[in-house]
Amino acid sequence: MKKEQTYFDVIVIGTGISGLYTALSLDEKLNVLIISKGKVDNCNTIRAEGGMAASVGKEDSPLLHAKDTIAAGGELNDTQVVNIFTNEVLERIRELENMGFKFDRDESGNYILGLEGFHSVRRILHYDGDKIGKGIFKFLFSLIQQKKNIKILEHAYLNDLFVDENKKYCGVQILKNNELHVLSSKILVLASGGYAGIFEKSTNDPFVIGDISAIAYKAGAIFADLEFVQFHPTVLFKEGFEPFLISEAVRGEGAILLNSKGDRFMKNYHLKGELASRDIVSKAIYEEMKKQKNQNIYLDMSIIGKEKIKKLFPNIYENCKIRGIDVTKDKILIHPAAHYTMGGIKTNIYGETSINGIFAVGEVSCNGLHGANRLASNSLPEALVFGKRIAQKINMEEFDRKREVAIQKSLPAKLESKIAFPDKEEIKKDNWKYLSIERNGKNLTNYKNYLEPYFVEALNLDTNENSSIYSYIILSYLLTTSALLREESRGSHFRLDFPTAVENFRKSICLKRSDDPKCAIPIISYIERR
């Protein structure tokens, strides 16, 4: 980025598949800046192992894909969004292939399709076995580098975003090299990932902690479904190493779960056994840990066979080997971890948020696709479908390059906290204790009351790189508020005091900051999903 350049037609926050694909789909006449908090590859896309779900098989259809998505989502999905997704994903897959991306095929040229939890048929497209994330990132980034209209700014932190008196977006404040800079643009696209990183046990990249979501909330964006956090059931934790997710795809090929006694247990919890949806498997593992009075749950891949493991899961094989585990013969000690967030900034079918000029795409957004629990391998293709829709919407806009968008708000004075905030690691541990797989009203109430004074204070403080505790507090409080309001169990949200789904709760809970600066309590509203 040229030092003197402060105006762009479109600014994109995030360098995962959502941000890169959206930027690539924009008209080449538009001047685009992509901002990454860390390096360009500090994103969750890199870590994706499963694949992309699409009804490309002969026995499959968009209708069946939609049915599975809604079943996994606890029937809290927006059916219009689901149908758009399952139909348009086929176009996006073809488009990717026309651009040069190559999904795995057999010797006859047919797709090698995988099976994952709650899918009725094999429909998971792969790249180089289990390297879909790395493959799609490298492919899209290589195309970005060829675009003269797109610039990438690394190691730049979004510190604030500006909304004028008409509630229209007009620019951002970024922190780079310990200096604050103001950039203006007509359009802002948020593609920064979810908030699963606020938990002690998480599969997220360390840079993906939901801080952009906190900033958007402070700016007035409406949020939905924040209580729905997906806990991936099979994550390998080993001291000295980052947590490593073991893809659900291994269970699709026959891998089994065993308790501390060496017994299979999943059939005791669901007819689909190991291929039940992620929320069910994670809950079953949690229950089995309590029954056995220890946390020793194992994943056994060995029955898949050595050659098949090396062919289909080379990334898992190598990463486990680095950690001293030979998955062709050793059992893997696993534990559930926060993996994905279904909730986020509320958007329509074109990715538009409640703030004029701001779009959101991917995990940072909530368009109703996933409902109460995401169907496996729907996240990467979601980015393609709705990234394309956002770009198409933006491409129809008129851009006046004769003048920059005026930013009326001056740089804020640095505000110091009046109270001592807890440590980030403390909050992450508390989130795991009170907001993970099992929740109850008493603990939620107590935790909400504990967080509230910090939440009120955090709303008035700069959410900057060095004080991301404010983001942790804001998101933890909002999640707790939504979880307390949902007096039922549905999808990834399980209440011990309300253990069943309730028909009256087939609705999304929405939260928004009050327009009254003196009121810190969120405004609550609902969207019926019947």
Residue 240: CATH number of its domain: 3.90.700.10
For residue 458, the domain's CATH number is 1.20.58.100
pLDDT in 10s for each residue of the chain, 530 residues: 445 678 999 999 999 999 999 999 999 999 999 999 999 999 999 999 989 999 999 999 999 999 999 999 999 999 999 999 999 999 999 999 999 999 999 999 999 999 999 999 999 999 999 999 999 999 999 999 999 999 999 999 998 999 988 889 999 999 898 888 999 999 999 999 999 999 999 999 999 999 999 999 999 999 999 999 999 999 999 999 999 999 999 999 999 999 999 999 999 999 999 999 999 999 999 999 999 888 899 999 999 999 999 999 999 999 999 999 999 999 999 999 999 999 999 999 999 999 999 999 999 999 999 999 999 999 999 999 999 999 999 999 888 765 555 565 555 555 677 889 999 999 999 999 999 999 999 999 999 999 999 999 999 886 655 568 999 999 999 999 999 999 999 999 999 999 999 999 999 999 999 988 888 999 999 999 97
User: Among the three residues 337, 354, 379, which one is the final residue of a domain in this structure?
Assistant: 337
Residue 157: enclosing H or E segment and its boundaries? strand 157-163
521 and 429 share one domain: yes
Tokens matching residue 61: 């259809």
Quick check: is 458 in a domain?
yes
Tell me the DSSP string of 124-147: EE-STTT-HHHHHHHHHHHHHTT-
Provide the residue range defining the domain that includes 331: 234-337
Quick check: is 43 in a domain?
no
524 and 433 share one domain: yes
Quick check: is 187 in a domain?
no
242 and 332 share one domain: yes
Quick check: is 125 in a domain?
no
Question: Three-state DSSP class for 458?
Answer: helix
Number of structural domains in the chain: 2
CA atoms of 213 and 221, how far apart (whole Å): 9
User: Among the three residues 276, 309, 337, which one is the final residue of a domain in this structure?
Assistant: 337
Tokens matching residue 16: 């995962």
Q: Mind telling me the catalytic residues?
A: 278
Quick check: is 522 in a domain?
yes
Residue 473: enclosing H or E segment and its boundaries? helix 469-485
Tokens matching residue 216: 């958007």
390 contacts: CB under 8 Å, gap ≥ 6: 22, 25, 189, 350, 351, 359, 361
Give which of 501, 498, 507 is closest to 530, Cα–Cα: 507
User: Among the three residues 337, 363, 388, which one is the final residue of a domain in this structure?
Assistant: 337
